[in-house]
């Protein structure tokens, strides 16, 4: 049996093992945005969408998150001509947050 010698052409590179979990990246990808070049306003909008969908859930997989985003999109219907999906969802989340706050304020007045 002949001995086999393996010689690598490149020197080994240290791998950065740090894992950074980004909550908005799956939403950005799902919305069709360029995940390498997301504007600050889009990041803020997607973070609001994430926070709204996540709600009080302790844990949520990426698949569950995207499923809930899709359900919300289906509930809201198609976007208008020239309107981005992320803008429509962001507007809905903002309005729903205002409704929730006003409902709490109203209920506190009734007590």
Q: Where are the domains of the chain?
A: 25-110
Please write the tens of the pLDDT for every residue from 85-96.
Answer: 999 999 999 999
Asked whether the predicted pLDDT for residue 72 surpasses 80, the reply is yes
Question: What's residue 8's pLDDT?
Answer: 75
pLDDT, averaged across the chain:
87
- The answer on pLDDT for 98 being more than 80 is yes
Contact 24, 46 (CB under 8 A): yes
Q: How far apart are CA 98 and CA 89, in angstroms?
A: 14
- Report yes or no on whether pTM surpasses 0.85: no
pLDDT value of residue 35: 86
Please state whether 15 falls in left (phi above 0), alpha (psi between -120 and 50) or beta: beta
Q: Is the pLDDT confidence value at 68 over 60?
A: yes
What does the alpha-carbon distance between residue 31 and residue 69 come to, in Å, rounded to a whole number? 10
């Amino acid at each position: 049996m002949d001995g086999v010698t393996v010689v690598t052409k490149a020197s080994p590179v240290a791998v950065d093992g740090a894992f950074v979990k980004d909550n908005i990246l799956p939403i950005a990808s799902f919305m069709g945005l360029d995940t390498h070049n997301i504007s600050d306003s889009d990041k803020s909008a997607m973070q609001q969408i994430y926070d709204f969908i996540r709600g009080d859930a302790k844990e949520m997989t990426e698949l569950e998150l995207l499923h809930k985003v899709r359900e919300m999109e289906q509930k809201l219907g198609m976007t208008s001509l020239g309107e981005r999906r992320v803008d429509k969802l962001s507007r809905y989340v903002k309005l729903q947050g205002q409704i929730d706050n006003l409902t709490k304020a109203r209920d506190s007045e009734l007590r």
